[in-house]
């Protein structure tokens, strides 16, 4: 046997999910072969993860075999998180992965724009202003030109005659505008260096009964000019109905609580025509979806039909000759979208028919530029069709050797080699988080990266496989594989990281007086034996002791805590502070956070570190706080910054005797939506207030409450919210204790808020028992005064406050801290 290896690093703009290589069942392979003869594509447009119609995506991808792509204009960063404490861009990472998990189940494809989900918006005008309409429109035009859909379907309507999220309406407005300009080479001409203009044939709106208020009202709508589809089909090859697959897909949006029951049977979807040549009733009526749409492509259909007719479920490899012939014919076509897409598809079908297993797994999940990494490789041919491995390529390392080996039937060909990561290799990470953006838009400078679901993986292995003399290249990500005693074989992405990570142990540091505060930094080694200097980059008025300090870490993954004493000479200040580690003259400022949930791959999020330093003029009263966590928030850590002792209370802690020790009890966000036992705890909490305690209840969703009453008085929650974070505040009770004791609250305390004022305000209450304190509203709306309600109950104080403290306190907003401290004081 002649045995050698061609080693280098290969940089490709492809992202593959870190999981065990998937082998399709024969019935799935058969469907993939049939898809080779369908040249139709659809783009579904909406605003957020979980906006998409998974019933329709599943149907179009599996029943019709169209390339079906969902473009979500945002990654959902501004939503709430029902499974953890991640917010903003970290939540966007989770929701990105949940969308990808959904697409793996329903067969769709996924794209994004650079728009950031800045939170709920009531009007499309506000949305388009904050997003930078031109740039988001550019991203949508780019996606259409890049993927060339025949049909575009909007999830939402572009009209404003019904209440709707501003992001939703904006997505439809942009889609209509993009449809009209995407074929105009004077629009966004810089894109034409990479793609050509394109004109979709049709644009529809996916109509639904909820636009009309009820199913009964929708039934009365004249749909004679609309298209419709029964998407309730059953797939014998899968043993599932379309709606069952769609439910499983939608249930991947776990952080949004979108778990859905599966259903079966007929179900109609309706489509209102908006633009294009609307011939007949079917979405694709008048659109050629055969190989004859491609110059020179018509003969390919017969070859693939031959493969379909001769396919044997017990031996898929018997049609390899037909597939190889079709592949050669596709390769001979002029370069174009369908030629390239179908070439990729048929190569995958050949791989599946061969039962070909390819794996490249590193001996570590992370390494740094310049490191050498051991990689375990495997090639297993589980068919009787002979193949040979010509070479395995890891471009860039400078080694140049080859393989010429023919694995025996069903006998794994395994070997180990070492690759060297180039000194100039780019770090992995989430590409949209690497450059400073705004709260409303991400910055992505590279045009070719825009819209990708995930970052480019630099570490790939390309296997050159010869099948009947035809060389086929298969490129896969290098991953890390390990054995878990409970879960078995697991995979995660292989990461290229800096030699050291620098994390602040807190994201916000509050200085309530003139004393110094200890600021701790956690350093994590990306390689063995590193040493250098660590320093804070402090704005004017801040002083650290020492100015810098030496650090050393002996072993990779070792973590150490280093600390500085910091004080401020300012009377009041809010500043962002960064920390830098210097090794051999090179500076490093990346922090790392690992996101680990069972339903998505482990995410290694690397971003420039920062922490908010806030110098406050504040007085606090009370010391011991009991906190009942709900869906998850960071308020306990924020209150500890003020010197409060905060104890997280579990269900067993909520007893009459135990609560006596606390100066205040605070319920976390959405606790009444997430903890079923709150209905049993509520009488205990009321008794605590009756005996002199202070109870602070934060916002809860007005639906799916585990009990009807979250107050000891009559009070009804609503969907009222104020999305403008700088909405004017009207002080209704200037002499009320919560605005005066122990801190005098003024309009200045409502400045500098982020994302929103508040959400799920009350809209009905007993005004004899509950006092309104402040009010605010979004433009063109009436004042909302149900965001803070305070009442005496027995000897204590009950406070309902749906203002967004869970956003303001972790962000170090000075005034929010002062108001919250007053609520805790309870007028004492």
pLDDT digits (tens, 9 = 90+) for 435-456: 988 889 999 999 999 999 998 7
pLDDT of 136 strictly over 80: yes
**What average pLDDT is seen over the chain?**
93
R_g of the chain computed on alpha carbons: 30
Instruction: Read off the tokens for 430.
Output: 């989430």
Predicted confidence at residue 37, as pLDDT, reads: 99
- Reported as a single tens digit per residue, the pLDDT across 331-358 is 999 999 999 999 999 999 999 999 999 9
**Once rounded to an integer, what is the mean pLDDT over residues 149-162?**
91
| Calpha distance 84→96 (Å, rounded) | 15
Q: pLDDT > 90: what percent of the chain?
A: 86
% of the chain at pLDDT higher than 70:
96
pLDDT digits (tens, 9 = 90+) for 586-623: 999 999 999 999 999 999 999 999 999 999 999 999 99
Architecture of the structural domain at 624-825: 3-Layer(aba) Sandwich (3.40)
Q: What is the pLDDT of residue 59?
A: 98
> Are 65 and 233 contacting, i.e. CB atoms less than 8 angstroms apart?
no
Question: Over 70: is that where the pLDDT of 396 sits?
Answer: no
pLDDT at 210 over 90: no
In which order are the strands placed within the sheet that holds 664-667?
A: 645-648, 624-628, 664-667, 694-697, 796-801, 788-793, 771-772
Confidence of residue 164 (pLDDT cuts 50, 70, 90): confident
User: Which CATH number, 3.30.2270.10, 2.60.40.10, 3.40.50.2300, 3.40.50.300, labels domain 500-615?
Assistant: 2.60.40.10
**Per-residue confidence (pLDDT) for residue 227, from 0 to 100:** 92
Give the pLDDT band (50/70/90) at residue 625. Answer: very high
How many angstroms separate the CA atoms of 72 and 116, rounded?
A: 11
DSSP secondary structure code for residue 750 in this structure:
G
- Residue 399 pLDDT > 90: no
Tell me: pLDDT of 209 over 90: no
DSSP string of 783-826, one letter each residue: -B--SEEEEEETTEEEEEE-B-HHHHTTTT-HHHHHHHHHHHHT
Q: Does the pLDDT value for residue 383 go beyond 80? A: yes
Mean pLDDT of 579-584: 97
Q: Select 40-287's CATH number: 1.10.3720.10, 2.30.30.830, 3.90.1300.10, 3.40.50.10320.
A: 3.40.50.10320
Is residue 5 over pLDDT 70? Answer: no
- The burial of 469, by beta-carbon neighbours within 10 Å (0-12 exposed, 13-18 middle, 19 or more buried), is given as exposed
Mean local confidence (pLDDT), 793-817: 97
Per-residue exposure over 211-220, b if at least 16 CB sit within 10 Å of its own CB, e if not: beeeeeebee
Give me the pLDDT at residue 470, please.
Answer: 96
Of 101 and 8, more confident: 101
Most confident of 121-125, 277-281, 436-440, 693-697: 693-697
Whether the link from the prior residue into 546 is cis, omega within 30° of 0, is yes
In CATH terms, 355-421+459-491 corresponds, of 3.40.50.1010, 3.40.50.150, 2.60.40.10, 3.40.50.1370, to: 2.60.40.10
* Residue 278 confidence (pLDDT): 80
Q: Could you please report the per-residue DSSP string of 543-555?
A: EEESSEEEEEE-S
Closest CA to 33 of 229, 400, 316, 395: 316
The pLDDT of residue 79 is 87
pLDDT in tens, 727-756: 999 999 999 999 999 999 999 999 999 989
pLDDT value of position 19: 67
**Distance between CA atoms of residues 438 and 443, nearest Å:** 8
Find, among 314, 292, 252, 312, the residue nearest to 38 by Cα: 292
As given in the structure block, the two tokens for residue 536 are 């804070």
Interatomic CA distance for residues 15 and 165, integer angstroms: 31
**CB count in 10 Å sphere of residue 794:** 15
Residue 794 has pLDDT above 60, yes or no: yes
Mean pLDDT confidence for 384-388: 96
86 in Cβ contact with 596 (< 8 Å): no
pLDDT above 70: residue 497: yes
pLDDT score for 215: 85
Band of residue 280 on the pLDDT scale cut at 50, 70, 90: low
pLDDT value of residue 257: 86
Distances in Å between the alpha carbon of 425 and those of 365, 397, 478? 16, 11, 15
Among 48, 130, 114, which Cα is nearest to 447's? 114
pTM as predicted:
0.89
Contact 474, 463 (CB under 8 A): yes
């Amino acid at each position: 046997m002649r045995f050698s290896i061609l080693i280098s690093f290969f940089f490709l703009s492809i992202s593959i999910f870190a999981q065990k290589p998937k082998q399709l069942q024969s019935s799935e392979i058969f469907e993939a072969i049939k898809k080779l003869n369908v040249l139709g594509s659809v783009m579904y447009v909406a605003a957020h993860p979980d906006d998409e119609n998974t019933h329709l995506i599943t149907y179009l991808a599996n029943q019709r075999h169209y390339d079906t792509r969902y473009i979500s204009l945002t990654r959902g960063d501004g939503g709430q998180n029902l499974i953890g404490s991640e917010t903003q861009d970290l939540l966007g990472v989770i929701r990105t992965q949940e969308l990808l998990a959904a697409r793996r189940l329903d067969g769709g494809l996924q794209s994004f724009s650079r728009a950031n989900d800045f939170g709920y918006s009531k009007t499309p005008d506000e949305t388009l202003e904050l997003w930078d309409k031109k740039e988001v429109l550019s991203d949508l035009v780019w996606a259409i030109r890049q993927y060339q859909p025949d049909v575009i379907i909007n999830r939402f309507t572009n009209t404003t005659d019904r209440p709707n999220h501003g992001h939703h309406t904006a997505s439809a407005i942009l889609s209509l505008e993009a449809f009209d300009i995407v074929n105009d080479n004077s629009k966004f001409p810089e894109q034409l260096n990479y793609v050509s203009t394109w004109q979709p044939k049709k644009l529809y709106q996916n109509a639904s009964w909820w636009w009309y208020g009820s199913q009964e009202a929708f039934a009365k709508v004249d749909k004679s000019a609309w298209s419709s589809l029964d998407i309730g089909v059953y797939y014998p090859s899968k043993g599932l109905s379309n709606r069952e697959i769609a439910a499983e897909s939608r249930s991947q949006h776990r952080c949004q609580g979108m778990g859905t029951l599966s259903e079966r049977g007929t179900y109609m979807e309706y489509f209102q025509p908006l633009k294009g040549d609307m011939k007949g009733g079917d979405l694709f009526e008048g659109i050629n979806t055969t190989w004859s749409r491609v110059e020179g492509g018509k003969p390919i259909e017969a070859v693939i039909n031959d493969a379909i007719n001769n396919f044997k479920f017990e031996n898929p490899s018997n049609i390899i000759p037909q597939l190889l012939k079709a592949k050669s014919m596709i390769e001979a076509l002029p370069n174009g979208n369908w030629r390239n897409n179908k070439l990729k598809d048929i190569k995958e079908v050949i791989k599946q028919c061969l039962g070909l297993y390819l794996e490249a797994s590193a001996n570590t999940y992370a390494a740094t530029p310049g490191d050498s990494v051991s990689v375990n490789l495997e090639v297993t041919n589980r068919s009787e069709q002979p193949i040979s491995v010509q070479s395995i390529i890891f471009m860039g390392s400078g080694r140049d050797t080859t393989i010429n080996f023919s694995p025996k039937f069903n006998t794994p060909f395994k070997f180990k080699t070492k690759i060297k990561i180039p000194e100039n290799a780019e770090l992995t990470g989430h590409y949209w988080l690497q450059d400073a953006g705004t709260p409303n838009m991400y910055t992505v400078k590279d045009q070719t990266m825009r819209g990708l679901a995930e970052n480019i993986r630099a570490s790939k292995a390309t296997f050159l496989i010869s099948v009947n003399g035809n060389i086929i290249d298969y490129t896969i990500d290098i991953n890390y594989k390990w054995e878990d005693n409970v879960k078995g074989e697991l995979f995660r992405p292989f990461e290229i990281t800096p030699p050291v990570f620098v994390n602040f142990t807190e994201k916000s540091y509050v200085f309530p007086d003139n004393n110094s505060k200890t600021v701790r930094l956690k350093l994590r080694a990306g390689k063995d034996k590193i040493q250098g200097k660590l320093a804070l980059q402090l704005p004017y008025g801040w002083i650290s002791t020492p100015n810098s300090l030496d650090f050393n870490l002996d072993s990779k993954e070792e973590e150490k805590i280093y600390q500085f004493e910091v004080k401020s000479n300012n009377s009041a200040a809010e500043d962002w502070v960064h920390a830098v580690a210097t090794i051999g003259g090179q500076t490093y400022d990346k922090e790392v956070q690992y996101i680990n949930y069972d339903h998505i791959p482990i995410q290694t999020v690397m971003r420039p570190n920062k922490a908010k330093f806030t110098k406050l003029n504040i007085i606090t009263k009370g010391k011991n706080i009991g906190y009942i966590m709900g869906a998850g928030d960071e308020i306990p850590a924020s209150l500890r910054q003020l010197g409060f002792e905060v104890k997280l209370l579990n269900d067993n802690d909520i007893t009459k005797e135990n609560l006596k020790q606390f100066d205040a009890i605070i319920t976390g966000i959405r606790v009444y939506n997430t903890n079923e036992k709150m209905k049993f705890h509520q009488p205990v909490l009321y008794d605590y207030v009756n005996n002199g305690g202070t109870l602070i209840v934060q916002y809860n969703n007005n639906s799916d409450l585990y009990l009807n009453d979250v107050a000891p008085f009559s009070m009804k929650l609503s969907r009222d919210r104020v999305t403008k974070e700088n909405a004017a505040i009207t002080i209704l009770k200037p002499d009320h204790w919560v605005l005066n004791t122990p801190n005098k609250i003024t309009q200045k305390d409502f400045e500098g808020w982020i994302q929103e004022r508040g959400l799920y305000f009350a809209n009905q209450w007993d005004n004899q028992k509950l006092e309104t304190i402040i009010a605010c509203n979004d433009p063109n709306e009436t004042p909302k005064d149900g965001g803070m309600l305070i009442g005496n109950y027995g000897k204590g104080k009950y406070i309902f406050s749906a203002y967004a403290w869970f956003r303001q306190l972790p962000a170090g907003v000075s005034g929010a801290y002062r108001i919250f401290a007053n609520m805790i004081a309870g007028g004492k």
